[in-house]
Amino acid sequence: MNSAATTGLQLPVMEHFYTIQGEGFHQGRAAYFVRLGGCDVGCTWCDVKESWEAEKHPLMPVEKIAETVAQSGAKICVVTGGEPLMYNLDALTAALHAENIRTHIETSGAYPLSGSWDWICVSPKRFKLPLTECLKAAHELKAIVWHRNDFRFAEEQAAKVSANCLLYLQPEWSNEKECLPMIIEYAKQHQQWRISLQTHKYMNIP
């Protein structure tokens, strides 16, 4: 990790863009995405593996990130990765809130929580389990289903979140045709779960 990023005043930004949130509770809402570089969770089916090496991505001051989001007109900024919680995000969320922008994060929960968040989506991974503090703080738990055994893992993680946390099952994109029928039947039998789809891929937007 670049030492300059450890302060959280500059962050390695792989890409940033204004789009439509495609997944989970806020699906369909306009949002500005900031994808940070750096991840050691190592999901085999990750579709942004180019984000894993932080050193490959330029550092961007948090004030510049917030200014760019504000200039787009977006009211929501989704911070994702990679694994964004590898960095201290206090300064970033403060800069975004100063611009009256809502702060959302998508994280595996594998690192301690930092930043002030209006919405926390934790997507737990077997490869590096989420911390209890992240699960307790989550507004939304999004479990990715690639195989039938993933339902058991999803239930194990769901047992650790707060009573108000929304529960989502999402098919892994490359295996969606096989997984989605299983998820539909599971959601019908376990009605605490909702289904999340990667609708941005259907819309062919980032």
| CATH number of the domain that residue 157 is part of | 3.20.20.70
What is the C-alpha to C-alpha distance for residues 121 and 159, in angstroms, rounded to an integer? Answer: 16
**Opening angle at CA 25, ends 169 and 163, nearest 5:** 75
What is the C-alpha to C-alpha distance for residues 173 and 136, in angstroms, rounded to an integer? Answer: 27
Domain count, the chain: 1
Q: Taking a C-beta distance cutoff of 8 angstroms, is the pair 16, 33 a contact? A: yes
Beta bridge pairs of residue 104: 78, 119
Which sign, positive or negative, has the C-alpha torsion 183, 105, 113, 174? positive
Residue 154 CB neighbours (<10 A)? 24
Strands 76-80, 119-122: pairing is: unpaired
pLDDT tens over the chain, length 206 residues: 555 576 899 999 999 999 999 999 999 999 999 999 998 887 776 767 777 788 899 999 999 999 999 999 999 999 999 999 999 999 999 999 999 999 999 999 999 999 999 999 999 999 899 999 999 999 999 999 999 999 999 999 999 999 999 999 999 988 899 999 999 999 999 999 999 999 998 899 98
Answer whether 0.85 is exceeded by the pTM: yes
Quote the pLDDT of residue 4: 58
**Full domain range(s) for residue 104:** 3-203
Quote the pLDDT of residue 46: 73
Quote the pLDDT of residue 31: 98
